[in-house]
Structure 1
C-alpha cells in the first residue's frame, strides 16, 4: 500500500498533535514533514505576551494521553506550557521531522487522475532558499495565530493602534488612556494587566454588561462606532472618549468548512483549531484523529454538494438563533457534542466527561473571581470526577 505523505504547517500544539498521530500510524502514512518556527523578519505569528498565564487548569488543557507534571500548579505561565510541548515532542520522537526556520510561501492544489487532489507546497529556509514538494494532504493550524487589523480607520492623532496579537507587556502603557475593543478572555486579561501599571482602560464590547467586580481603573462602554475629526472615539451610546492607544480584539470566520475542518471542495486540506471558545488541546486531539480517519478511509465523507449543504444549514441555524456572523466559529457548550460526534464517526475514544465538568467549573469561578480564580488548584480523580485542592 502506498503511504500517504502529509505536510503539517505550524509550530504549536496543534502541529505537534498532528505529527504525533501521523507517526503513530506509519503503516498508513509516511513520517510527516512539519514546518517549524522562523525568525527571519517575517510577520509575527504568535499572540503570546510576557505575563500570559493559562485561563484553564492543566488538568483540563492537557492532551488526554499526556498529563502535565503533577507538581505544577493548575494555572501555568506560558513558559511551562512550552516545556510541556517540548516534552510531548521528545516523548513522541517528533523533533527529527520538524524543519525549523522554514516558512511556507504557498500551498496550491493540483488536480490529478481520477479527480484526486495533491498539494504543491513551496517553502523557504532562513537563507531564502526555496523548495517545492508534493503532498497527499495538508494540516494547517488556524486559531491564535490569526489576526486582523482594526476594522476602524483610527486616526494617528489618538496615538497608537495595536492588535492584541502584537501586545507583549503592559509597562509601555503605564499612565496612558487605553480603549480595549472586545471583552472576551484576551481583552479582559490584558485590561487587568494594563490597570496594574496605572493605565486607565475603557473596555468597549458588544456583550451583556459584565456584572462581576472589575478592577478599579476599568470602565465598560458600548462598542466604538466612529472616530471624530479630533481623533476622539465615539461609542454606540453616543459618548466620546480620547485614547492614547486603541487595542483591537477581533473574531474571524472561514467558511465553508465541513465539521469546521475541511473545505468540501478539497477534503484533503484540514484546518485544525479554527473553533473558538473551546478547550484547545483536547479539541485538537479529537480533530486530528478524525481527519486521519478521513485520510485512511475509515470515515467516508459525503459528496461535496451534501457537505456544502450541511455547512450552509448549520450556519443558517446559528444565525437564526441570533449568533453574529463573526461568532460562527464559537463553540462554548456545543464543543462537547461536537467532539463526541467526531469521536463516534471516527471510531476512537471520546474525551472523558471529567474534562467538561472541570472546564465548566473553572469558567463559573472565572465569572465570580476574575482576578483570583487562577489561585485554585485541582486534580483529576477519575474519568468522571475531579476535586479541588484548595
Structure 2
C-alpha cells in the first residue's frame, strides 16, 4: 500500500503521449512509487503520432496501431497540445506537422529518462485483478493487485504483479465501420481512414467519403487536390463554408444496391471507385475482461468510470485520456490518479461512485446527448479539469489554454479553405485525432 515501506508498483500500457506523461509523473514521486514499467506494442515511443507507412498487421500479427497519414498536421495550436511543464520549441509555428509532435514526444521521453523503463515490442495479453481478503479479530479488508501477462518479440511470456495499472493505449486505432446494407456488392475499394496514408493513389478516381468531421474533411481536401472527385456523405447540416472544387456534399449512404451503386438517403444513386469510412474509432481493450471489472465496454462508451478515469469496483485501474473532444494533454487525469494512489484523495464508496456516474449520464441523456456521445467533453472539459485540480491539489490548466482552444473552431468555421491553405504553409488542417 502507498505510505508503507514497500513502494507502490505501477504498470503503464502504451508509450504514447499519455503513457510517457504517466511515467514522467510516477518518476517524480519515487518516495512513494517504484519506477514505472511501460509496455509498448511497437519499437518506438509516440503512439498514434508515430507514422507508419504500413497498413494491416505488424510482423507479430497484431493490427497496425497508428492512424497517422503522411501529410497530417495538428488542428490545435502547440500551446494547447504541450505538457504545461515542457513547452514545444519556440521557433516552431503553432500548428505542427505530425513529425514535429513525434519529435517532441521523443524529446520529452529523453529529457525525463523514461526510455530505460519502456519494454518495446511487448504485447500486453491480459490484465487481471487479484483480490486478497485480509481478516483479523476486528476488521476485514480487501486489497487488489494486478496480474499483467505480456509477451515480447521472441514470444517469451511473463506474468508480473502490480499495485495499479494505467491504461494509456489510446482510442484511435480500432476503426469504427458502420453497417451498410449490401456493402458486399460494392465493386471498388473499401477502406477506413485508419488505413489511409496519402492521396496520390486516388488521383482521377471518384471517392465517396463517409463522415464530415476532422478526418473526413481533411482527407477530402487532400483527395480533391490530386484530382479525385469527392462525394462527402454525412448526416450533419450542410457545411456552409466554401469547399474545394471537386468536393460535393451529399446525404448519408444508406445502402449499396445489387449493381454495386451507392444509394443515399435523399434517394440519389452514384457509382464510385472507392468508399472511404471516416467514421471514427472504437474503444477496444483486448487485454481486459470487462465483466470481471464490472465494466461495459461498447464501441463509443466505457462505463461506469468515476471521473472518466476508474471503474468504481476497481479504483486502482485508470483509463488515461479516454474522453473525446478535449485538449489532449493528459496531465490533469494522471495527477488526479496518482493523488488517489498516494492517499491525497479519498474516494467515495463504490456504490456512491456508481450512482454519481449514472446520475451524470442521465442528466446528459435528458439534455439530448446521444448514448454514443456520452464521453465527448467539449465545453465540459474546463470544469472537469478544474474540479480534478481542486480536489487533488495541483495547479489548474492556465486560462490561456481554454482561450486558444476555443478560438480555433470559429476560425475554421469562418473559412475552411483559408484554414487549410494556412495548414499547407504552417501546419494546420483538420487532423483527426487531436480532440
Q: Deviations over 1:293-328 (max 9, x none)?
A: 111111111222222221112112222222222221
Question: Is the alpha carbon distance of 1:127 and 1:371 closer, same or farther for their aligned partners in structure 2, counting shifts above 3 Å?
Answer: farther
Q: Deviations over 1:99-121 (max 9, x none)?
A: 11111111111112232221111
Question: Is the alpha carbon distance of 1:117 and 1:152 closer, same or farther for their aligned partners in structure 2, counting shifts above 3 Å?
Answer: farther
8 Å Cα contact 2:234-2:251 kept in structure 1: yes
Q: Deviations over 1:245-288 (max 9, x none)?
A: 2222135222221111111122111111111111112xx11111
SS in 2 for 1:262: coil
Identify which of structures 1 and 2 has the higher relative contact order when contacts are C-alpha pairs closer than 8 Å and 6+ apart. 2
TM-score with structure 2 length normalisation?
Answer: 0.83
Give structure 1 regions of 4+ aligned residues with deviation exceeding 3 angstroms.
Answer: none
Q: Does 1:30 align with 2:50?
A: no
Q: Does 1:228 align with 2:257?
A: yes
Trace 1:176-215 onto structure 2 (pairs within 5 A): 176-215=205-244
8 Å Cα contact 1:6-1:30 kept in structure 2: yes
Shift of 1:243: 2.4
Which residue of structure 1 lines up, in the alignment, with residue 53 of structure 2? none
Shift of 1:23: 0.5
Q: Deviations over 1:200-243 (max 9, x none)?
A: 21222222221111111222222222222222222222222222
SS in 1 for 2:347: coil
SS in 2 for 1:203: strand
Which residue of structure 1 lines up, in the alignment, with residue 393 of structure 2? 347
Q: Does 1:40 align with 2:59?
A: yes
Shift of 1:155: 1.8
Trace 1:67-146 onto structure 2 (pairs within 5 A): 67-113=87-133, 114-141=141-168, 142-146=170-174
Q: Deviations over 1:77-110 (max 9, x none)?
A: 1111111001111111111100111111111111
SS in 1 for 2:167: strand
Structure 2 CA distance for aligned equivalents of residues 253 and 234 of structure 1: 30
**Superposition CA RMSD, Å:** 1.8
8 Å Cα contact 1:264-1:308 kept in structure 2: yes
Shift of 1:59: 1.3
Structure 2 CA distance for aligned equivalents of residues 32 and 359 of structure 1: 32
SS in 2 for 1:172: helix
Question: Is the alpha carbon distance of 1:293 and 1:145 closer, same or farther for their aligned partners in structure 2, counting shifts above 3 Å?
Answer: farther
Which residue of structure 2 lines up, in the alignment, with residue 242 of structure 1? 271
Shift of 1:156: 5.2
Structure 2 CA distance for aligned equivalents of residues 118 and 168 of structure 1: 41
Q: Deviations over 1:52-95 (max 9, x none)?
A: 10111111111111100000111111111111001111111111
Trace 1:324-339 onto structure 2 (pairs within 5 A): 324-339=370-385
Structure 2 CA distance for aligned equivalents of residues 146 and 273 of structure 1: 16
8 Å Cα contact 2:185-2:256 kept in structure 1: no
8 Å Cα contact 1:123-1:130 kept in structure 2: yes
Shift of 1:152: 2.6
8 Å Cα contact 2:189-2:273 kept in structure 1: yes
Structure 1 CA distance for aligned equivalents of residues 399 and 407 of structure 2: 13
SS in 2 for 1:115: strand
Q: What is the total number of aligned residue pairs between the two structures?
A: 376
Q: Deviations over 1:319-345 (max 9, x none)?
A: 222222222111111111111111111
Structure 1 CA distance for aligned equivalents of residues 213 and 36 of structure 2: 35
Query: Quick check: 128-137 or 36-45, which moved more?
Result: 36-45
SS in 2 for 1:280: coil
